[in-house]
Structure 1
Amino acid sequence: MRRRLINSTLAVVLVVIGVFGVSLVIVEARTISAAAQESVDVEALRLVSIVDSRLFGGEPVNPDILAEQSGAKRYALIEIPGRPPMEIGERPQGSVIRGTATGERGETVTVEVSRSTITSEVGRTLLIICAVALLAALAAVGLAVRQANRLTSPLTDLAETAERLGSGDPRPRHKRYGVPELDRVADVLDGSAERIARMLTAERRLAADASHQLRTPLTALSMRLEEVALADDLDTVKEEATIALTQVERLTDVVQRLLTNSRDPRTGSAVAFDLDEVIKQQIEEWMPAYRSAGRALVHSGKQGMRAVGTPGAVAQVLAALIENSLMHGGGTVALRTRVTGNQSVIEVTDEGPGVPADLGARIFERAVSGRSSTGIGLAVARDLAEADGGRLELLKEHPPVFALFLSREVRGRARERERPVR
C-alpha cells in the first residue's frame, strides 16, 4: 500500500508538471519571439529617424557615423533613393528576424537578427523550467513518502491491535493518529477490547464464584450420601435422602443464581419469606461441621419476622458468614435477629480475634483475605445482598459483627417472639 500511495502521488504530480511545463514552454517561446521582433522593429525606427534628421540637416550619411550615433550592434541595411545601399554590422546567416522602417524622404532601414539567439534563450528558459519541475518532483516524492508513512504506520498499529485482541490480550491502546477515519477504527477496536475484557472478567468471576459457592453444598450433599450409604434403618435412609434432595434443590438454586448474576448482577426475584426458616435450615446444615470442630452455633433474637428478598440468596449470604466464622473465627458463633426501622437485621458474630484493622475497610473486596483463603466469599455475599435490595456490612471488628440488612414485611398483628435456639 505504501508503494501504491507513493506511485499514485508521483504520477499525479508528474502529469501536472508535464501539462503546465509544456504550456509554460510554449508561452515563453512565443513571448521571447515577440520581444525579439519588437526589439528589431524599435531599432529600425530609431535608425530611420537618425537618417531622416541627418538628411534634413544636409549632414553626411555613412555606416560609421550611423553605427556610432545609434549604437547599433545588429545588422542593418540602409537604402536611400539615389544612393548606393549601406550596411551596418555583419549580416546573420540562416533564419533571421527582420524589422523594416521607412523614412519621410523614402529611405528604408532593415534590421536583421539571427533566430539562433532566440533559440538559445528559449533553451535557457527550458532548462530553468526543467530544474523547477525536478525540484517539484523531488518535493512531491518527499511529501508522498511522508503521507504514505502517516497512513500506513497507523494501519500497521491497528493490525497489531486486532491481532492482540485475537490472541486474548484485550488491553485497549487508546492511541490516535489525527486521521478521522483511522481514529474511528481505533475507537471501535478500543471499544471491542473493553467489551472483551469485561466478558473475560465476568467469565473468570463466574468460575471463581461457582467454585466457591458450590463447594459447601457439594460437601454437605456428599456427607448426606455417606450417611445414606452407611445407614441400615429404612426410616433413617428416607430422612437422609429427603435432606439430600433438599440440598440438591439448594444446589440447583445456587447454580441458577450464579448464572443470573453473571448476566446481570441487579437481577433478583425478591419475595416475602419467613426469615426463621432460612436461618433454621442454615443452622441444621452447618451444625455437623461445628460439632466436628468442637464449637457451637446458636440463634437468638426476634422470631416470626418476614423479610423481602430471595430466600436462596439470603441462604447463600448466611452460609458465607457462617463459613467465614468457622474458618477464621473462634468460640461460639451466634446468629441474632432484630428489627431496626423497616428493616430486618441478621447479625453473625463469634468469639474469635476479629478482623485486622488494615482489612476492615477492604474486607468485602475480592481477593482480600486475612488468611490463605480465596477472598471471594464475602465479596459474593455482598453482591447477593445488594442484588436483593439489601446490604451487608461489618458493624464491629473486635469481636467481629457482620450484619445483613433486609427489607422487612410485618404480618398483620402477629407477635414477634424472642427466644434462643440451640
Structure 2
Amino acid sequence: MRRRLINSTLAVVLVVIAVFGVSLVVVETRTISSSAQESVESEALRLASIVDSRLVGGEPVNPDIIAEQTDTRRYAEIRIPGRDPIEIGTRPSGSVIRASAEGEQDTTVTVEESRSAVTREVGRSLLIIGAVALVAVVAAVLLAVRQANRLASPLTDLAETAERLGSGDPRPRHRRYGVPELDRVADVLDASAERIARMLTAERRLAADASHQLRTPLTALSMRLEEITLTDEPETVKEEASIALAQVERLTDVVQRLLTNSRDPRTGSAVAFDLDEVVKQQLEEWRPAYRSSGRAIVHSGRRGMRAVGTPGAVAQVLAALIENSLMHGGGTVAVRTRVTGNQAVVEVTDEGPGVPAELGARIFERTISGRNSTGIGLAVARDLAEADGGRLELLQQHPPVFALFLSRVAREHREEKPTVR
C-alpha cells in the first residue's frame, strides 16, 4: 500500500509538471523570441532616427560616429541615397533576427542579430524550469512518503489490533491517528475489544461460580450414593435414593440459576416459600460434614416464616454461609431466624476467630479470602441474594455474624428452643 500511495502521488505530480511545464516552455520561448524581435526593431528605428537627425543637421555619417552614438553590439546596415552602404558590427552567420526601418531622408536601416542569443536565453529558461520541476518532484516524493507512512502505519497497527483480538487478547489499545476514518475504525475495534473482554470475564466467572457452587452438592450426592452401595435394606436404599434425587434437582436448579445470573444478574424468579423448609434442608445436607469434623449446628429463632425469593438461590446462599463457617470458623455454628420490620432474617454465626479487620469491608469481593480458598463463595452468595431483591451483609466481625435479609410474607409463627443437629 505504501508503494502504491507513493507511485500514485508521484504520477499525479509528474502529469501536472508535464502539462504545465510544456505550456510554460512554449510560452517562455515565444515570449523570448518576441522580445528579441521587438528589441531588434526598436534598434533599427533608433538608428534611422539618428541618421536622419545627422543628415538634416549636415553632420557627417560614418560607422565610427554611429557606433559611438548607438553603442550597439548588433550588426547594422545603413543605406543613404547616393552613398555607399555603411555597416556597423560584424554580420552574423546562420539564422538571424532581422528588422528594417526607413527614415525621413529616404534612408534604410537594417539591423540583424544572431538567433543563437535567443536560443541561449531559451536554454537558460528551460534550465530554470527544469530545476523547479526537479524540486517539485523531490518535494512530491517526500510528501508522498510522509503521507504513505501516515496512512500505512495506522492501518498496520489496526491490523495488529485485530489480530490480537482474534488471538484472545481483548485489551483495547486506545490509539488514535488524527485521521477521522482511521480513528473511527479504532473506536470500533476498541469497543469490540471491551465487549469481548466482558464476555470472556463473564465466561470465566460462570465457570468459576459453577465449579464452586457445584462442588458441595456433588460431594453430598456422592456420599448418598456411597451409602446406597453399602446397604442392602430396601427402605434405606429408597430413602437415600429419594434424598439423592432431591439433591439432583437442587443441582439442576443451581446450574439454571448460574446460567440465568450470567445472562442478567438482576433477573430473579422470586416466589413466596417456606423458609423453614430451606433451612431444614440445608441443615440435613451439611450434617455429615459437621459430624465428621466433630462440630455441631444449632437452629433457633422464629419458625413458620414465609419469605419472598427463589428457594434454590436462598439455599445456595445459606450453603455458602454454612460452608464458610465450616472452613474458616470454629465451635458451634448457629443458624437463627428472626424478623425485623417487614423482612425475614437468617443469621449464621460461629465461635471462630471471626473476620480480620482488614477484610471486613471487602469480604464480599471476589478473590478476597482470609485463607487459601477461592474467595468466590460469599461473592456469589451476595449476587444470588441481590438477584431476588434481598441482601447479604456482615453484621459483626468478632464473632462473625452473616445475615441474609429477605422480604417477608406475614404468617403465624412460634418460638422454638435451639435444636442441635
Which range, TM-score by smaller chain? over 0.9
Q: How far, CA to CA, are the matches of 2:66 and 2:211 in structure 1? A: 120
Cα drift, residue 348 of structure 1:
0.8
Q: Is residue 387 of structure 2 the alignment partner of residue 415 of structure 1?
A: no
Number of the residue aligned with 1:294: 294
Q: How does 1:4-403 map to 2 (within 5 A)?
A: 4-403=4-403
2:171 counterpart SS class? coil
Which amino acid in 2 is paired with 1:108? T
Q: Is the 8 A contact 1:298 1:420 kept in 2?
A: no
Cα drift, residue 421 of structure 1:
4.2
Q: Is the 8 A contact 2:344 2:405 kept in 1?
A: yes
Show structure 1 runs of 4+ deviating over 6 A: none
1:418 counterpart SS class? strand
Q: Is the 8 A contact 1:267 1:387 kept in 2?
A: yes
Which amino acid in 2 is paired with 1:64? D
Cα drift, residue 281 of structure 1:
0.9
Q: How far, CA to CA, are the matches of 1:295 and 1:371 in structure 2? A: 20
Cα drift, residue 200 of structure 1:
1.4
Cα drift, residue 232 of structure 1:
2.8
The answer to which of 188-197 and 31-40 deviates more is 188-197
Q: Give the aligned length.
A: 419
Structure 1 vs Structure 2 CA RMSD: 1.2
Which amino acid in 2 is paired with 1:320? A
Q: How far, CA to CA, are the matches of 2:341 and 2:104 in structure 1? A: 131
Cα drift, residue 153 of structure 1:
1.3
The answer to which of 19-28 and 286-295 deviates more is 286-295
Q: Is the 8 A contact 2:317 2:384 kept in 1?
A: yes
Q: How far, CA to CA, are the matches of 1:276 and 1:351 in structure 2? A: 23
2:28 counterpart SS class? helix
1:216 counterpart SS class? helix
* CA deviation map 1:230-277 (0-9, x unaligned): 223222222111111111110110111111112221221111111111
Which amino acid in 1 is paired with 2:51? V
Q: How far, CA to CA, are the matches of 1:143 and 1:37 in structure 2? A: 43
Which amino acid in 1 is paired with 2:396? K
Which amino acid in 2 is paired with 1:416? H
2:334 counterpart SS class? strand
- For structure 1, the residue ranges without an aligned partner over 5 or more in a row are none
1:160 counterpart SS class? helix
Which amino acid in 1 is paired with 2:413? E
* CA deviation map 1:397-421 (0-9, x unaligned): 00001111112222xxx32222234
Q: Is the 8 A contact 2:52 2:103 kept in 1?
A: yes
Which amino acid in 2 is paired with 1:114? S
Cα drift, residue 65 of structure 1:
0.8
- For structure 2, the residue ranges without an aligned partner over 5 or more in a row are none
Q: Is the 8 A contact 2:301 2:418 kept in 1?
A: no
Which amino acid in 1 is paired with 2:271? V
1:419 counterpart SS class? strand
Q: How far, CA to CA, are the matches of 1:218 and 1:256 in structure 2? A: 16
Cα drift, residue 316 of structure 1:
0.1
Q: Is the 8 A contact 1:253 1:312 kept in 2?
A: yes
Cα drift, residue 126 of structure 1:
0.5
Q: How far, CA to CA, are the matches of 1:396 and 1:168 in structure 2? A: 43
Q: How far, CA to CA, are the matches of 2:26 and 2:139 in structure 1? A: 25
* CA deviation map 1:35-71 (0-9, x unaligned): 1111111111111111111111111111111111122
Cα drift, residue 290 of structure 1:
1.3
* CA deviation map 1:296-315 (0-9, x unaligned): 11111222222111110000
Q: How far, CA to CA, are the matches of 1:63 and 1:408 in structure 2? A: 135
1:250 counterpart SS class? helix
Q: TM-score, normalised by structure 2?
A: 0.97
Q: How far, CA to CA, are the matches of 2:240 and 2:380 in structure 1? A: 29
Q: Is the 8 A contact 2:274 2:304 kept in 1?
A: yes
The answer to which of 19-28 and 260-269 deviates more is 260-269
Q: How far, CA to CA, are the matches of 2:415 and 2:23 in structure 1? A: 108
Q: How far, CA to CA, are the matches of 2:388 and 2:295 in structure 1? A: 31
Q: Is the 8 A contact 1:298 1:334 kept in 2?
A: yes
Q: How far, CA to CA, are the matches of 2:378 and 2:369 in structure 1? A: 9
2:393 counterpart SS class? strand
Which amino acid in 2 is paired with 1:143? L
Q: How far, CA to CA, are the matches of 1:272 and 1:81 in structure 2? A: 140
Which amino acid in 1 is paired with 2:223? M
